[in-house]
Chains A and B, each alone.
Chain A
């Protein structure tokens, strides 16, 4: 069965610093990978997704992620953090073996310090 592990329930960075949120997945077949962001008292919003093709995926708000099959990773990065990036971030996976149900990681809360 597929699963997702997000390393670090909380990450704190200074404004302007690099953001790196880690995600490792487990899937027996080619996975489809997603990063979602959730601001307080709101629903989730897609940042980016990987299905097939180019392994470096660019998303909204300056975020990008790289699919590394050999490391089973899909880490999320942003070169320069903004205060507005403070939110909860969820990595998610779906695949054929799981009936294409989307499985979410536990989430990482990003804090941005002025």
Chain B
């Protein structure tokens, strides 16, 4: 299995809702990432997990809460989002964790298209 899967594909939520995005990979990768991508822009790094521990948080607002329950699974919990948080949320993984991960390509999922009303 060489895929990164993300669910749901689309999500519409109100500003008071709580929802979660899910990402899964079964390639044995030790680093996993969340990116936010606005239309016609490059992906912006949000969080990096290395060996299931949060290693990078790019000053993301606390209304976004990541979780890595095991080495194959990555969640992004959403609460009290704003309309400007509407975007494509991409999950990615790479084979090695730690600084060695910087040498590696990232494998991206198809993304979750999030709309906040």
Contact = CB atoms under 8 A, between A and B. Distances in A.
Interface of A: 32, 34, 36, 41-46, 49, 51, 90, 94-96, 99-102, 104-107
A40 B92 CA distance: 17
Which residue, of B90, B102, B103, B111, has the highest number of chain A Cβ atoms within 10 A? B102
Interface residues of B, number: 22
Interface stretch (B12-20, B37-45, B60-68, B72-80): B37-45
Contacts of B103: 32, 51, 94, 100
15 contacts: A41-B110, A41-B113, A43-B92, A43-B110, A43-B111, A49-B105, A94-B102, A94-B103, A96-B99, A96-B102, A99-B102, A100-B101, A100-B103, A106-B42, A107-B42
Contacts of B48: 101
Given A43-B4, A43-B109, A101-B48, A106 B102 contact: no
B106 interface: yes
A51 B101 CA distance: 12
Contacts, number: 56
A38 B101 CA distance: 21
A46 B102 CA distance: 14
Contacts of A104: 42-43
Please provide the 7 A-B residue pairs with the shortest distance between their CB atoms, ordered closest to farther. A100-B102, A43-B108, A104-B42, A46-B105, A94-B102, A44-B108, A43-B110
Interface of B: 4, 40-43, 45, 48, 56, 90, 92, 99, 101-103, 105-111, 113
A101 B102 CA distance: 7
A49 B105 CA distance: 7
Contacts of A46: 105-107
Contact of B110 (A36, A42, A96): A42
A94 B35 CA distance: 16
Given A51-B103, A94-B103, 14 more contacts: A32-B102, A34-B105, A41-B110, A41-B113, A42-B110, A43-B111, A44-B92, A46-B107, A94-B102, A100-B99, A100-B102, A101-B45, A101-B48, A106-B41
